[in-house]
Amino acid sequence: MNYVLVGNSAAGLFAAESIRQQDSSAEITVLTADTYPSYSRCLTTYYMAGDIPETQLFLRSAEALQALRLTVHYGCSVSGLDPTHRVVFAASGEHYSYDKCLIATGASAVSLEIPGSTLPEVFTLRHLDDVQQIKAIVAPGRQAVIIGGGLVSLKSAYALLKQGLKVHVVVSSGQILSQMLNEEAAKLLQEHLVKHSLNIVLNQDVTAIEGIGHVQAVRLRSGMNLPADLVIVGKGVRPNTQPFLTSGLTIRQGILVNEHLETNLPDVYAAGDVAEAWDRLHQTQRLNPIWPNATTQGRIAGANMSGLALTYPGSMGMNAVDFFGLRIISVGIVKPPTSPPWRTENLYLQHGSGHPTYQRLVWQGETLKGFVLVGNTERAGTLTALIQANQPLSEPIRNTLRRGKPSSVLPYLRANVS
């Protein structure tokens, strides 16, 4: 069987491993625009911070990759797919025939079209090369402006602060991490980051990046200028669907896939940031561009391509961060509708000196649908399992959770959650 995988990151690599596990004689061809072996994008900011060496970014050793017996074409940009002739085209003019094809092209960072955005020190952060270029110009005492207050922006801010830069984060909304956290949790994180010298400017837009030949400042809508030697734009991501727009694939924001991660085209699958797969909490297909969803989808798509019929249980938003020792985990729905049967319970276990400790639970009736933990994140596993169980919980169990003491829920979990 001849498999062609487009993409070599979380979804592509896990799919390749899954296929090889099922099919020892498979011909597996991987086409990737990247020039590096599979690496963790999530860790790149820790590399930028100096917390880990470059070698720790790579997902598999050379020996493990060799054992997979993949034919990998690096620097190969795919430009189209013809489902009738079962062929994938590369921009270079090459073409690759497939029996089964996986599209795992991920997403690209959204760039800003404002005056000055083409200056050489203006970056987005998606690829290892972006990090290498940023690393080459960071130096203690320099100033950086990060546009956007999402996960990648804050991870970048952390890295630059650790490198001794003066860092400003400009957010157009009224809170940081607005996709991942409710307002209270975001405020706790904001206070913590400000204590570590981060300047956070909320409710502001950047109207221009100023400088002749080089970045010198960032202009805000208020008229104020922030001095800058470099700018990182963190305005979210967009799925890499462009090469497939005329292929006959059903594409909304991403490529639509069913519960087996099949697209509408025969023997063509999609997984990872490029795919709109089932979301178990929102009960619809939607984008969920995070690492654990990409690896799970890759693994299941690969297994199904090689003959199994596994069902994807559905994505769930989940993120964990650690900034200067403050841990935060958010899972599921954290900003629910304000009307019944939705309800939230917020508990400050400690606020003041030291790290804050905070818990938010989100309920739909008696069923747990989401949570945020700040400070002490030990309960995350139990709470996640309860969300996955998706069952109404009894009052004593809800009460135990409400008080931030879920260990007595373990017998229930053992009995009810596989």
Ligand X SMILES: Cc1cc2nc3c(=O)[nH]c(=O)nc-3n(C[C@H](O)[C@H](O)[C@H](O)COP(=O)(O)OP(=O)(O)OC[C@H]3O[C@@H](n4cnc5c(N)ncnc54)[C@H](O)[C@@H]3O)c2cc1C
Note the residues at the interface with ligand X (CB under 6 A).
6-12, 31-34, 41-42, 44-45, 76-78, 104-107, 125-126, 151-152, 155, 240, 243, 272-273, 289-292, 294, 319
Sequential DSSP letters for 144-159: EEEE--SHHHHHHHHH
**Cβ proximity to ligand X, 29 vs 344, nearer residue:** 29
**Cβ proximity to ligand X, 297 vs 344, nearer residue:** 297
**Cβ proximity to ligand X, 295 vs 344, nearer residue:** 295
Residue 376, classified by CB atoms within 10 Å of its CB into exposed (0-12), middle (13-18) or buried (19+), is middle
Report residue 277: phi and psi, to 5°: -110, 175
**Cβ proximity to ligand X, 17 vs 34, nearer residue:** 34
d(CA 367, CA 385): 12
CB of 109 to ligand X, least distance (A): 7
CB of 125 to ligand X, least distance (A): 5
- List % helix, strand, coil for the chain (3-state, nearest 5): 30, 30, 45
CB of 77 to ligand X, least distance (A): 5
CB of 326 to ligand X, least distance (A): 15
How far is CA 403 from its chain centroid?
31
CB of 410 to ligand X, least distance (A): 26
Dihedral over Cα of 178, 183, 188, 192: its sign: positive
Report residue 98: phi and psi, to 5°: -135, 150
**Cβ proximity to ligand X, 217 vs 383, nearer residue:** 383
DSSP state letter for 133: H
CB of 134 to ligand X, least distance (A): 11
**Cβ proximity to ligand X, 158 vs 363, nearer residue:** 158
Q: How many other CB atoms sit within 10 Å of the CB of residue 308? A: 12
